Amino acid sequence: MSINIRRVSGSDKEKILKISSKIWEGDDYIPFVFDEWVRDENSFFACAEIEGKIVGFGRYVKFSDAYAWLEGLRADPEYQGRGAGKALTNFFIEKAKSDGVKTLALSTYIDNKASMHIIESNGFVKKASFVYFEVKTEKAKEKIEDKSLSDVSTEEAENFIKNSEFLKIADGYLPYGWKFFPERFGIIKVLEKMQFLLAVRKNKEPQALACAAEVISKFKLLSVCFIDGTEEGIELLLKEIFAMKTKYELFEFMIPCSKGNFSKALSVFKKLGIKSYYNYSEDLFVYEKELA
Domains of the chain (ranges; CATH) run: 3-101 (3.40.630.30), 131-282 (3.40.630)
Sign (positive or negative) of CA dihedral 187, 261, 136, 271: negative
Q: What is the mean pLDDT of residues 229-239?
A: 95
Across-strand partners of 4? Answer: 49
Report the C-alpha gap between 91 and 84 in whole angstroms. 10
3-state secondary structure of 66: coil
Mean pLDDT (whole number) for 269-289 = 95
Residue 256 has pLDDT above 70, yes or no: yes
Question: Does position 215 have pLDDT exceeding 90, yes or no?
Answer: no
Mean pLDDT for 245-262 is 89
Q: Among 43, 63, 57, 61, which residue's Cα sits nearest to residue 87? A: 57
pLDDT > 70: what percent of the chain? 96
Name the helix (H) or strand (E) containing 261. Answer: strand 261-262
Contact assessment for residue 42 and residue 61, using Cβ atoms and an 8 Å cutoff: yes
Count CB atoms within 10 A of the CB of residue 174: 25
List, in sequence order, the alpha helices (H) in the chain. Answer: 13-20, 30-39, 84-98, 113-121, 154-162, 165-169, 187-191, 231-242, 265-271
This prediction's pTM? 0.92
State the DSSP code for 252: E
150, 279 in Cβ contact below 8 A?
no
The pLDDT score that the predictor gives to residue 180 is: 95
pLDDT band at 245 (very low <50, low <70, confident <90, very high): confident
Question: Is the confidence at residue 112, as pLDDT, over 80?
Answer: yes
φ, ψ of residue 55 to 5 degrees: the values are -125, 0
Beta-carbon contacts of residue 159 (< 8 Å; ≥ 6 apart): none
What is the mean pLDDT of the segment spanning 169-198?
92
Using an 8 Å Cβ cutoff, are 74 and 87 in contact?
no
pLDDT reading at 175 higher than 80? yes
